[in-house]
Amino acid sequence: MTTKENLRYYGLATAVLLTAVVAWHIAAAVTLGTDLLDPVSGLDVLKATLGSGDPAPETPHATSSTAGVGAALFVLAIVTAVVVDVRRRRARAVSTPGQMAGGRALRREMAGSAEESALRPFAYLDGQALTLRNEDNGAVVAPPRIGKTMYLAIPLIVDAPGAVVSTSTKPDVLRLTAGIRERVGTVHVFDPEGVSLWPNRIQWDMVTGCEVPEEAAERAGALVGSRDLGDGRNASFFQEAADTVLRCLLHAAALKPGGNMRDVVRWARDFSLDEPYDLLRERGGGVKGWVDDLAKFCRGEARETVSSTDMSLGLVLKAFGLPAVLDSVCPRPGEGFDPTRFHTTRDTLYLLSRSGKTSLSAPIITALVTAVERRARLAAGHTATGRIDPPISLILDEVANVAPVRDLASLMSDGGGRGVLTWVFVQSRRQLAQRYGQDDAKTILDSASVFVMLAGCKDVDHLRELSALAGEHLVERVSSSTGTGGSAQGSVQHSWERQPLMAPEAIRTIGMGKAFMLYRAAAPAVATLVPWWERKDRRDFEASLASVLRREGLGATISADDLIAQATNEHENDLAEAAS
């Protein structure tokens, strides 16, 4: 029994004893005429009744009556206490597991070091500021235009203590945060499809590093894994074929003096070219078996296999058919973005892509995110603490479409402890499951230190599960009935029924600026989020917006107030649609 339970029972016992004494005292005053205001008189009668040797009351019958009345009141007190305790037990058995978190309790649960507690609040609950620890990752489920960017992604980027990787399908994030982030480090913008008009877009050599077989295999896996090659019976075979051929071609290009992604694309379009085979034989070192792997899928006797491999590679490398996209991964020798030491900086890497499943640059962005996080996790293992400090933050908006990192489940469960903090943003759990499968999708969400759902979700099963996590409480129902013919001799009945603390519908229509939030093992909470325009540093965001717009050559074509109005209107319209 816990200390809290002991105190409750001691209190109940004391209440019963005091009730019994008072009951006896009142009974003595009523039946024997003892002084009601004299607490000793009732005790004298009690002693006499129990045969203590003190003089007996003058009237034995009165003593008997007193004892009877007192005993009845005593029993009534006991019964009352038992009934109250039973009702408390029943209520606690239902409602305790379902208690919603209070602000103070959740603040204590989330509290980290003094340095972490001094960071800007992530959210508020009951007026209490909730801050994140430097090992917290997160998962955000929110339909489009509900405010996940303004309320969550942007604050997470500007408040990150170390390097940041941000994926986005719109230039808003870049415009509102780049001016702030460049105060602490260099801003890198990788935008192969021209989502923004940022003037100094970086290039990244996809082949650099692939002279190491393991790196070539990782990069090929990231490229292939980002593309949906179908869910039919042969999908896994097609994926394996594309993966195998691509790692061989990337490795061959890295072994070639001056080789780059143009060579990979050229070889993938013409399986008759001997150059990659020659490079693997002559320079491949310990991976000469890769020549046979390449020949198996590109020059095998099974023409159907060769044809399927050609088709799969075409899907994976489709984006490289656009000159601008291919140029973005083919910088001049010695130039281009270096992902190997990015985690040691406080720089910011913005990765922009068109939205939707058909995002052309998704394979490249996925490969670049993978290169950064893989190097960071390896570096963490080479430190005394097993983590990098300050941590690197991966803010992956539209992760299922734009940056579907192959090992995302592993990254979510393992990265936080290594100083690689990943925040995934998805439109729904179903979207995540379609990309990663049910098991991995569950692992990704369950591994998040912070789970946030905004309004508008239409996944009924997910809403019911979250409602169940919030638990139930007892609600008293009072019903009355009238007598025959409408007479006043009716009855009033009291009953108790279980109801969800947070019904699925309540979660779906939670309201603007609110979030259903789960933090580790703490009770669920409905937290209040703060958009960038309500923060104390709003002027910094406005200055960033103006600065980036000037660099894009757009001048003052849009103001901060315009963005606020646009975001607010979209949010309110979608909330109204969700409630209808």
pLDDT at 36: 61
Q: Please name every residue paired with 481 in a beta bridge, in sequence order, or none if there are none.
A: 491
Token representation of residue 390: 């300050």
How far, in Å, CA of 418 to CA of 385, rounded?
9
Measured in degrees and rounded to the nearest 5, phi and psi for residue 2 equal -80, 165
- Please say which residue of 35, 66, 98 terminates a domain: 98
> Does one domain contain both 327 and 281?
yes
Name the burial class of residue 232, with classes exposed (0-12), middle (13-18) and buried (19+) by CB atoms within 10 angstroms of its CB. exposed
Residue 323 has pLDDT above 80, yes or no: yes
257 domain-assigned:
yes
> Does one domain contain both 86 and 123?
no
pLDDT at 13: 56
Residue 83 has pLDDT above 60, yes or no: no
pLDDT tens track for 406-431? 999 999 999 999 999 999 999 999 99
> Does one domain contain both 540 and 527?
yes
Residue 78: count other Cβ atoms within 10 Å of its Cβ: 13
The average pLDDT across 242-249 equals: 96
pLDDT at 475: 77
Q: How confident is the model at residue 230 (pLDDT cuts 50, 70, 90)?
A: low
Q: How far apart are the first and last CA of the chain?
A: 49
> Does one domain contain both 435 and 541?
yes
Residue 576 has pLDDT above 90, yes or no: no
Q: Please name every residue paired with 167 in a beta bridge, in sequence order, or none if there are none.
A: 351, 396
pLDDT at 1: 41
- For the chain, what percentages of helix, strand and coil (3-state, to nearest 5) are there? 55, 10, 35
Name the burial class of residue 483, with classes exposed (0-12), middle (13-18) and buried (19+) by CB atoms within 10 angstroms of its CB. exposed
Burial string for 146-185 (b: 16+ CB within 10 Å, else e) reads bbbbbbbbbbbbbbbbbbbbbbbbebbbbbbbbbbbeebe
- In this structure, the strands spanning 450-453 and 420-426 are unpaired
The average pLDDT across 471-498 equals: 72
Residue 12 has pLDDT above 70, yes or no: no
303 domain-assigned:
yes
> Does one domain contain both 273 and 324?
yes
- Please say which residue of 98, 117, 146 terminates a domain: 98
3-state SS class at 193: coil
CATH code, 393: 3.40.50.300
Residue 240: count other Cβ atoms within 10 Å of its Cβ: 14
- Please say which residue of 305, 336, 367 terminates a domain: 336
495 domain-assigned:
no
> Does one domain contain both 369 and 476?
yes
Residue 40 has pLDDT above 80, yes or no: no
459 domain-assigned:
yes
Residue 5 has pLDDT above 60, yes or no: no
Residue 313 has pLDDT above 50, yes or no: yes
How far, in Å, CA of 41 to CA of 53, rounded?
16
Token representation of residue 488: 């006043």
3-state SS class at 526: strand
> Does one domain contain both 424 and 538?
yes
Q: Which amino acid is at 403?
A: A
Name the burial class of residue 71, with classes exposed (0-12), middle (13-18) and buried (19+) by CB atoms within 10 angstroms of its CB. middle
- Indicate the average pLDDT of the chain: 85
pLDDT above 90 coverage of the chain, percent: 63
221 domain-assigned:
yes
Q: Please name every residue paired with 138 in a beta bridge, in sequence order, or none if there are none.
A: 423, 450
pLDDT tens track for 152-165? 999 999 999 999 99
How far, in Å, CA of 486 to CA of 422, rounded?
67
The average pLDDT across 428-453 equals: 96
Token representation of residue 450: 């912070």
> Does one domain contain both 172 and 207?
no
- Answer yes or no: are the C-beta atoms of 367 and 405 closer than 8 Å: no
Residue 231 has pLDDT above 80, yes or no: no
pLDDT tens track for 518-574? 999 999 999 999 999 999 999 999 999 999 999 999 987 778 888 888 777 765 665
384 domain-assigned:
yes
> Does one domain contain both 275 and 374?
no
How far, in Å, CA of 402 to CA of 363, rounded?
8
> Does one domain contain both 186 and 120?
yes
Q: How confident is the model at residue 284 (pLDDT cuts 50, 70, 90)?
A: confident
Q: Please name every residue paired with 515 in a beta bridge, in sequence order, or none if there are none.
A: 527
Q: Which residues contact 60 (CB under 8 A, 6 or more apart)?
A: none
Token representation of residue 526: 């409905």
The average pLDDT across 496-514 equals: 91
3-state SS track over 480-518: EECCHHHCCCCEEEEEEEEEECCCHHHHHCCCCCEEEEE
Residue 114 has pLDDT above 80, yes or no: no
The average pLDDT across 199-217 equals: 95
pLDDT at 96: 39
pTM score above 0.85:
no
pLDDT at 474: 78
| Separation in Å, CA 353 to CA 342, 415, 531 | 21, 25, 24
pLDDT at 92: 39
pLDDT tens track for 57-67? 444 445 555 55
Measured in degrees and rounded to the nearest 5, phi and psi for residue 292 equal -65, -40
> Does one domain contain both 464 and 520?
yes
Q: Which of 407, 394, 403 is nearest to 354 (CA)?
A: 403
How far, in Å, CA of 15 to CA of 77, rounded?
9
Q: How confident is the model at residue 17 (pLDDT cuts 50, 70, 90)?
A: low
Side-chain-facing half-sphere of 328: CA atoms under 13 Å: 26
Number of domains the chain is built from: 3
pLDDT at 220: 97
pLDDT at 567: 74
Ranges assigned E (strand) in 300-373: 348-352
Residues in the chain: 580
User: Which range marks the domain in which residue 51 is found?
Assistant: 3-98
372 domain-assigned:
yes
496 domain-assigned:
no
Measured in degrees and rounded to the nearest 5, phi and psi for residue 473 equal -140, 165
- Among 74-83, 111-120, 506-515, which stretch is predicted with the lowest mean pLDDT? 74-83
pLDDT at 95: 35
> Does one domain contain both 417 and 316?
no
pLDDT above 70 coverage of the chain, percent: 77
Residue 56 has pLDDT above 60, yes or no: no
How far, in Å, CA of 221 to CA of 405, rounded?
9
pLDDT at 173: 97
pLDDT at 217: 96
